[in-house]
Structure 1
Amino acid sequence: MRKVDLLDIWKARKRIASIAQPTSLVYSNDLSDVTGKSVYLKMENWNITNSFKIRGAANKILSLTPMERAKGITTFSTGNFGVSVGYVAKQLDIDAVICISNRVPKAKVDVLRSTGARVEVIGTSQDDAEKYSYQLQREHGFTVIHPFDDPYVIAGYGTMGLELLETLPEVDTVLAGLSGGGMYSGLGVALKQTNPKLYLIGVSTERGAAMYESMQAGKPMEVTENNTLADSLLGGIGLNNQYTFSMVQQYVNDILLVNEQQIAKGMAFMLDKHHQVIEGAAAASIGAILENKATLIGSNVVLIISGNRVDTSVVLDLAKRYSQ
């Protein structure tokens, strides 16, 4: 296992420049009023594939050899990473198979199919999809593009940290959804190797928080997945986790759990105050702040708005429920 360092992230930034553009940092008057802090939103939902996952997917796929590209690639996903893999594969004319469980919402499945990748629906959990992805590797020689536990993917996600430091070097606290830990592993290297005092908070759903349960147990754990508005936060971290478990241990200061009502409140808040449709995983941090669950260190706070893939029916229901 090789260590991911700051140089890897700078190399990733150069490698993915033609595919993943920098995203905006937007000041939130409303969240600043709620917290008494200066709160900014890192708009990863404005990426070409509408999530931060394009950064890791692009860095990994662009690092493959010509022979690996010719044989094809496969990944397992709760939706957003698969969309990003499918998009990059189409740009580079690489055959791709995306393995998902039957918990992935229709909105994400439709977008997955639109990339031109082959979509395989396997089982009821990301773990089921992962097993099938590795079966395809054994049978057909595909390269598995792991959605988080891979040094190239982690380095790609770390490019967000470089952008944050360039735009707001005074950042004190960063919050984002925490699932497999790829984002926070990359952010940890980029941000904490520059400013060790920077405070990182991961936010997970109460329903199936694999990384949180693993941190509590001191080792990677399997969890049962349940339906949630924050479907992007589902999925195990792998019992043979090589990178993200130890990196989250090293870099993340606190992990918060939010319930479905708090996630919904965060989604409705962004719709009402910022006129932005965001998915539950992106709204988890907002829900935590609105419920005063997060200890915000320092004056400048950044929330990673990680993606916006959500069924229209869910958005309409939230708008109706919270406008009354």
Structure 2
Amino acid sequence: MKLETRQTTGSFKLRGVSNTLLLSGQTAKGFVAASTGNHARALAYAAQQMGKPCVVCMSKLVPENKISAVRALGADIKIVGSSQDDAQQEVDRLVLSEGFLPVPPFDDKRVIAGQGTIALEILEDRPEVDTLLVPLSGGGLAGGVAMAAKSVKPSIRVIGVSMEKGAAMAASLQAGKPVVVTEEPTLADSLGGGIGIPNHYTFNLCQTYLDDIILLTEEEISAGISHAYWQEQKIVEGAGAVGIAALLAGKVRPSGTVAVVVSGRNIDMALHQKLVSEYQKI
């Protein structure tokens, strides 16, 4: 398991955000982004470290625990609409009106490169890995990891894992082009949102480098969260648990060494307690 849960802000997102701000943020007036939670948390933290203002636009589907955590880091939160696309429209307005630097959550070269460092670290530590399971949302993580992994080890198999409810990248790849998908409530809330139309980088990366995509039911994701807690003593959010869940459900049957990217821990703890308690009773 590649435990991105141990990052300062609880998820892998700090990699891409830090890379972007180091490369482009020194002269910026401030920063703005749309996010389902973890990207916002990373951006708020990094902006605070630089002493610059940060505005985060979120839809009303984002869980309250993630909103509170971002606000606690000093970001100005704007709740806009019912989807990531609605929130992005407010970002675009703020870029024009306030002159803030936009920090995209996934479809950006600097962000993708930052996320790809995960694959380099995995293969440095465990070069024998044959299969990588990576959470799939907008494709910054999955696309960056897959491209980096295959640049080091072309034979490695990289599988993107998402939820059945509103998996925008999976639907887009099936359609052969970016498409709009209705965003729905899910335990894997960090994987929600569209991939952007047009999409500049991540659709092509996922189309080129991912070997397969697996979609999970809410019950399977819940089992992944609970297994991580009871068997691995790890607190993992739904999006972070999808690789574990895919193995538990038998939807991946690898023959060699498998690495699972456990992407984040930022779950509402009352929900976590409910899920793991119910799982223990089964």
Q: What is the TM-score normalised by the length of structure 2?
A: 0.98
| Residue correspondence of structure 1 range 124-139 to structure 2 within 5 A | 124-139=82-97
Identify the residue that residue 12 of structure 1 maps to in structure 2. none
- Secondary structure of residue in 2 paired with 1:103: coil
CA offset at residue 186 of structure 1? 1.4
Equivalent of 2:23 in 38, 45, 63: 63
| Residue correspondence of structure 1 range 150-169 to structure 2 within 5 A | 150-169=108-127
Moved more, 299-308 or 187-196: 187-196
Identify the residue that residue 105 of structure 1 maps to in structure 2. 63
| Residue correspondence of structure 1 range 1-324 to structure 2 within 5 A | 41-64=1-24, 66-67=26-27, 69=28, 71-296=29-254, 298-324=255-281
Structure 2 CA distance for aligned equivalents of residues 176 and 103 of structure 1: 23
Look up the equivalent residue of 1:52 and give its one-letter code. Answer: F
Look up the equivalent residue of 1:300 and give its one-letter code. Answer: T
Look up the equivalent residue of 1:202 and give its one-letter code. Answer: G
Q: Deviations over 1:48-74 (max 9, x none)?
A: 11100000000001111543x2x2110
CA offset at residue 309 of structure 1? 0.7
Equivalent residues of 2:85, 2:193 under 8 A apart: yes
Q: Deviations over 1:157-199 (max 9, x none)?
A: 0111111111001111000210000012211221101111100
Q: Deviations over 1:98-133 (max 9, x none)?
A: 111111111111111011011111111111111101
- Secondary structure of residue in 2 paired with 1:63: helix
- Secondary structure of residue in 2 paired with 1:216: helix
Identify the residue that residue 16 of structure 1 maps to in structure 2. none
Structure 2 CA distance for aligned equivalents of residues 121 and 275 of structure 1: 34
Look up the equivalent residue of 2:137 and give its one-letter code. Answer: S
Equivalent residues of 2:25, 2:101 under 8 A apart: no
- Secondary structure of residue in 1 paired with 2:260: strand
Equivalent residues of 2:134, 2:261 under 8 A apart: yes
Look up the equivalent residue of 1:318 and give its one-letter code. Answer: L
CA distance 1:126–1:65, shift in 2 (3 Å): closer
Structure 2 CA distance for aligned equivalents of residues 319 and 185 of structure 1: 31
How many residue pairs are counted as aligned between the two chains?
281
Gaps of 5+ in 2: none
Q: Deviations over 1:2-38 (max 9, x none)?
A: xxxxxxxxxxxxxxxxxxxxxxxxxxxxxxxxxxxxx
CA offset at residue 315 of structure 1? 1.1
Structure 1 CA distance for aligned equivalents of residues 266 and 108 of structure 2: 24
Structure 2 CA distance for aligned equivalents of residues 285 and 162 of structure 1: 19
Equivalent residues of 2:225, 2:276 under 8 A apart: no
Gaps of 5+ in 1: 1-40
Look up the equivalent residue of 1:58 and give its one-letter code. Answer: S
Structure 2 CA distance for aligned equivalents of residues 295 and 235 of structure 1: 29
Structure 1 CA distance for aligned equivalents of residues 26 and 241 of structure 2: 39
